[in-house]
Chains A and B, each alone.
Chain A
Amino acid sequence: MMNPIDLSINTDLARQILTGFIHSEITRVGYSRAVLGLSGGLDSALSCFLAAEALGPDNVLALRMPYKTSSPDSMEHAQQVIDLLGVQSLTIPITEMVDPLFERFPDANQMRRGNAMARARMIVLYDQSEAFKGLVVGTGNKTEILLGYTTIYGDSANALNPIGDLYKTQARQLSRALGVPEQIIEKPPSADLWAGQTDEGELGFTYAEVDQLLYLLVDQRYSPQDCVEAGFQAEFVSQVVERVRRSHFKRILPPIAKLTNRTIGYDFLYLRDWGT
């Protein structure tokens, strides 16, 4: 049996860097406010806690965007976060936005429905971004980004992401340190796109397992064979490696076909913070 890998982090340091990041990246472009979707789950609660600390709760707008099948617990947990932090909030159901599409395509599978819901939420978030004059703060963690367990242009769409370099295990540790309610930390992670859905059920492995494997593959630059020698099942390793490879398109901008001497994405290189 392999030794467990210690993924624990210094939460004070993470908190300092991430609140500083949110404050810097929002204020330097002339904004002072943030908008984010609050699902009732751990990741969005964590982003909301960090944003409220970085900008002040009055400057954060948390959106609850339920579909008719969303779990009532999710709504309740999101409300707990709103009440605890004192952030501004709106509840904007997406049922009326997506149901006409589903009526047009009654045979659409869960994947299509889930993606459409995630993208409807993106539309609402970016609409409120303009209305509230706040930037959209992302809520995706490193595990789900690496596994591609996201909807491109849906939940992956944001202006800045404070928690995208924290594995799920680490996001959970930081959430606990910041005071996210224990019920939210303890419940099984779920995209809540249909009743009874859980991340771990859908992925086929636990975050505790896959975080350790990803840490070796990505952070420690282990080869897949090194990971097997470290005690991971060969099939699990190849499944995860392939998942990371196949989902890479979700992590980069679409390639532009190069024709000229200077092409966006290849040799037109500036940070977003250019001039600020």
Chain B
Amino acid sequence: MKLTLALAQINTTLGVLPANLEVHLTKIAEARQAGADLLVFPELSLTGYVLQDLTPTVAIHPSSADPIFKPLLEASREIDLVVGFVEEDQRHRFFIASAYLSKGEVLHVHHKVYLPTYGLFDEGRFFAWGDTVRAFDTRFGRLGMLICEDFWHASPPYLLWLDGADLMLFTSASPGRGLNREPRLESARWVDHINQAYASLFTTFIVHTNRVGYEDGLNFWGGSTIHDPNGELLVKAPHHQVALTLAEIDLNQLHRTRARLPLLRDERTALVMREMSRILGEGSPVNR
């Protein structure tokens, strides 16, 4: 099965949902025109990233009752969408969230689990952390979504892999940092490395959409990528420029790679469980 993916490497207006919605609808029209089946927007694509005290004012709920989600759900009848937003739950906790929209329905919502609160990051001050990592079924097979810091930790991609995700959709609003002699910033080099590593280790497709633009002195570096189950780079968007990047992927590559390299077949999940129980159990090194 072949599938055309589109990565919407956009800039955002900080805290202005209607302006960002307009950008989404424009990109959706472009991606549809170009024949895309699934269009992935970056982390917090509907709100911008450094929200701080704007967080509660931009929080929404993904349903057709919401004026921002209504047109996006309409658009999802023609093309599957991943959008980034702030979700406020019934108990008024705020999450960094990604929603997968298809055929007018919200198929899945992921809440960012790992909220970086160090260095230039302050997410833990404003957001609640998600508490689940789940794969979900779509018309293209079983997928998984993670947001930025989620995939700086090895366990969420590992859990998605075991939960059946053969296509992982990663989204970021990654501030560029670490200028040295190299043509890529250190932050860009790091993300490229780990995405290639996940594709290789899990013999899976890794899709990453990062945003561009500036918020005060922060630059967002773009460079969105797709890696295939062999760990090969299929496509890379430019750094620091708005782009709509398309690539056709062949899901049969999963069959070919895993026939050669049966890492998933050989994964010893019962051993992992047993050892995790020991490591985290009473009297274990972690608890000493």
Enumerate chain A interface residues (CB-CB to B < 8 A). Answer: 6, 8-10, 12-14, 16-17, 20-21, 24-25, 165, 267-276
**Stretch in contact with the other chain, from B22-30, B147-155, B173-181:** B173-181
The contact of A14 among B52, B54, B179, by CB within 8 Å, is B179
Chain B: minimal CB distance from A12 (Å): 7
CA distance A273 to B50 in the complex (A): 9
- Which DSSP category, helix, strand, loop or mixed, fits chain A's interface? loop
Judge if B216 is at the interface, Cβ distance under 8 Å.
yes
Question: Nearest-CB distance from B14 to chain A (Å)?
Answer: 5
Given contacts A16-B239, A273-B14, A275-B13, 18 further A-B contacts (CB under 8 A): A6-B180, A6-B181, A9-B179, A13-B183, A13-B185, A17-B240, A21-B214, A21-B219, A268-B53, A270-B52, A271-B52, A271-B215, A271-B216, A272-B216, A273-B214, A273-B215, A274-B54, A276-B14
Once bound together, how far apart are the Cα atoms of A269 and B215, in whole Å?
A: 14
The interface of chain B, by Cβ under 8 A from chain A, is 13-16, 50, 52-54, 176, 179-185, 213-217, 219, 239-240
Report the separation of the CA atoms of residues A14 and B219 in the bound assembly, to the nearest whole angstrom: 11
A25 with B14: CB separation less than 8 A: no
Which residues in A have their C-beta under 8 angstroms from that of B50?
271
Give CA–CA (A14, B13) in the complex, Å: 24
The minimal Cβ–Cβ distance linking A110 to chain B, given in whole angstroms, is 33
On chain A, the residues within 8 Å of B53 by CB distance are 267-270
Q: Give bound CA distance, A268 to B217, whole Å.
A: 19
Query: With A16-B240, A21-B214, A24-B214 as given contacts, are A271 and B14 in contact (CB-CB < 8 Å)?
Result: yes
Subset of 9 A-B contacts with CB under 8 Å: A13-B183, A14-B179, A17-B179, A20-B219, A25-B214, A269-B52, A273-B14, A273-B214, A275-B15
Residue of B nearest to A6 (CB): B181
Min CB distance B18 to A, Å, is 12
Instruction: Kindly list chain B residues whose C-beta atoms are within 8 Å of the C-beta of A24.
Output: 213-214
Cα–Cα distance between A14 and B50 once the two chains are bound (Å): 22
Flag if A8 contacts B181 (CB, 8 Å): yes
Query: Complex: how many Å from CA A14 to CA B180?
Result: 9
Separation of A70 and B243 alpha carbons in the complex (Å):
49
Give chain B residues whose Cβ lies under 8 Å from the Cβ of A270.
Answer: 52-54
A17 and B219 contact, CB distance less than 8 A: yes
| Contact present for B240 and A21 (CB under 8 Å) | no
Instruction: Please judge, given known A-B contacts A24-B213, A24-B214, whether A12 and B183 are in contact too, CB under 8 Å.
Output: yes
How far apart are B180's CB and chain A's nearest CB, in angstroms?
6
- 7 tightest A-B contacts by CB? A269-B52, A24-B214, A271-B216, A269-B53, A271-B50, A17-B219, A273-B14
A8 to B14, CA, bound (A): 33
Distance between A58 CB and nearest chain B CB, rounded to angstroms: 23
A267 to B54, CA, bound (A): 12
Residues of A within 8 A of B14 (CB): 271, 273-276
